[in-house]
Amino acid sequence: GTVSLWGGRFSGKPAEALAALSVSTHFDFRLAELDIAGSRAHARQLVAVGILSEDEGERLCAGLDRLRDRVVSGDFAPQPGDEDVHTALERGLLEELGEELGGKLRAGRSRNDQIATLIRMYLRIEARHLADRVLALIDAILTQARGAGDAIMPGRTHLQHAQPVLVAHHLAAHAWPLVRDIERWCDWDRRADESPYGSAALAGNTLGMDAQAIAADLGFSSCAPNSIDATAARDVVTEFSFIAAQIGVDVSRLCEEIIIWNTKEFGYVTLDDAFATGSSIMPQKKNPDVAELGRGKAARLIGDLTSLLSLLKGLPLAYDRDLQEDKEPVFDQIDTLDVLLPAVSGMVETMRLNLARMEELAPQGFSLATDIAEWLVRQGMAFRRAHEVAGACVARAEARGIDLDELSDAEFADIDPALTPEVREVLTCRGSVQSRNGVSGTAPEAVARQLNALEERLTPL
């Protein structure tokens, strides 16, 4: 039957409409195993402070273990009368142990410190799992980068041809933000590593329980220093959520590029059949749906973060029931990334890069104009003037419908006497990329070092 956690001062049962609004088991029951772990740690403390005898403590823990097995096997599930995961499990425990012993567990704790602890435990587990999924995507990107060797492609700003870059350099630029996202989770984890358990409803518990011991039992390094903050704060959720949203944004940029690269006009990539979809009417179609969903899922990941921030804005201390609404958005982010990341990894892993096409387009669009200007600077010309001279070369080539390297020696000399035939050294994409050999640059040796440095930065949570 239904278990109510209060009743003493109430004369009637809650209205059905209240119960329907209040219920959260359909989303918070995923915390059931962690709730039971918390209860076990709590029971041990109740023994330590003498509220429970040794024997009662053992029977309670055995009952909790049986309940956990029933949860895992699916034999125990929430019922319509259960309000939340905590109420559902209390019903289960009373079924296992009877009212007398089962009713002793709740001393000294509140659902407020319970839920604040459980959400941290859950997010810490999921952060590790999702970080592994992000690592797998980084791995897929790096494999493509290494496979591209020294191939060159058009580097773009404003989506216009800018300067030639190594394909590997460009691909790795999609991996670095993901490396930082994992590092963000590592950093977040230090702040999440504090247990609110023992804070009770808001003011702390009166039973002398050792919150530090419970924290250690539940895998936390320490217990939270302020019980009011510990039960009311959810910045641990919003910060996790920001990282999830940022991953969505980073993945969406990669996906957008793949969508563009996959067009007939670009022709940079061929998607594997397993990661492309067809059209129900147009037989020729092969669509990049995975990449489009990657772009689209970013919207809900951002929306979830926005929901959470809006939820918390202006809430007074301490616990307010509004806080129950923190779960669905962050659970949605977890579930979304859990299906999105493997699909994007698979698409990246299996796509074929058309390196010849990229190389063919690399010198187009006057992408070597900066190289002319910088060559002139090396000959002693002021950059301001060199920029103008190189611009004049572009204008001349554009007017004739040719590329920069097709200008004749006489034309170069006519534009400016400083433009001797030696300028042709920098009028190849190969020469252009090789000259950008600074730490972060696109020269092949620099990029090789960057790929190694990136691999060294990869650490699981």
Contacts with ligand ARG by CB under 6 A lie at 24, 28, 84, 111-112, 115, 319, 321, 323-324
Smallest separation (angstroms) from ligand ARG to the CB of 197: 14
Residue number, 24 or 144, with CB nearest to ligand ARG: 24
Q: State the greatest distance between any 2 C-alpha atoms of the chain, in Å, as a whole number.
A: 102
Residue number, 240 or 412, with CB nearest to ligand ARG: 240
> Which two structure tokens, joined as six digits, stand for 167?
């394909």
Smallest separation (angstroms) from ligand ARG to the CB of 150: 55
Find all residues with CB under 8 Å of 203, minimum gap 6, and list them.
227, 228
Smallest separation (angstroms) from ligand ARG to the CB of 201: 7
Find all residues with CB under 8 Å of 290, minimum gap 6, and list them.
255, 271, 275, 276, 343, 344, 346, 347
Smallest separation (angstroms) from ligand ARG to the CB of 118: 9
Residue number, 232 or 340, with CB nearest to ligand ARG: 232
Neighbours of 347 (CB within 10 A): 25
Residue in 11, 26, 73, 158 annotated catalytic = 158
Active-site residue, 158 included? yes
Q: Compute the CA torsion angle 68, 80, 319, 198 (nearest 10 deg).
A: -20
Smallest separation (angstroms) from ligand ARG to the CB of 274: 40
CB 22 within 8 A of CB 83: yes
Find all residues with CB under 8 Å of 265, minimum gap 6, and list them.
none
Residue in 279, 310, 408, 440 annotated catalytic = 279
Residue number, 111 or 169, with CB nearest to ligand ARG: 111
Smallest separation (angstroms) from ligand ARG to the CB of 267: 52
> Which two structure tokens, joined as six digits, stand for 256?
């957008």
User: What is the Cα–Cα distance from 193 to 230, expressed in whole angstroms?
Assistant: 12
Residue number, 117 or 345, with CB nearest to ligand ARG: 117
Find all residues with CB under 8 Å of 110, minimum gap 6, and list them.
199, 200, 201, 202, 231
Active-site residue, 252 included? no
> Which two structure tokens, joined as six digits, stand for 28?
């918070």
Q: What is the amino acid identity at position 423? A: V
Residue number, 86 or 170, with CB nearest to ligand ARG: 86
Going by the DSSP 8-state scheme, the letter that residue 52 receives in this structure is S
Q: Compute the CA torsion angle 384, 386, 390, 393 (nearest 10 deg).
A: 110
- Among all residues, which ones are annotated catalytic? 158, 279
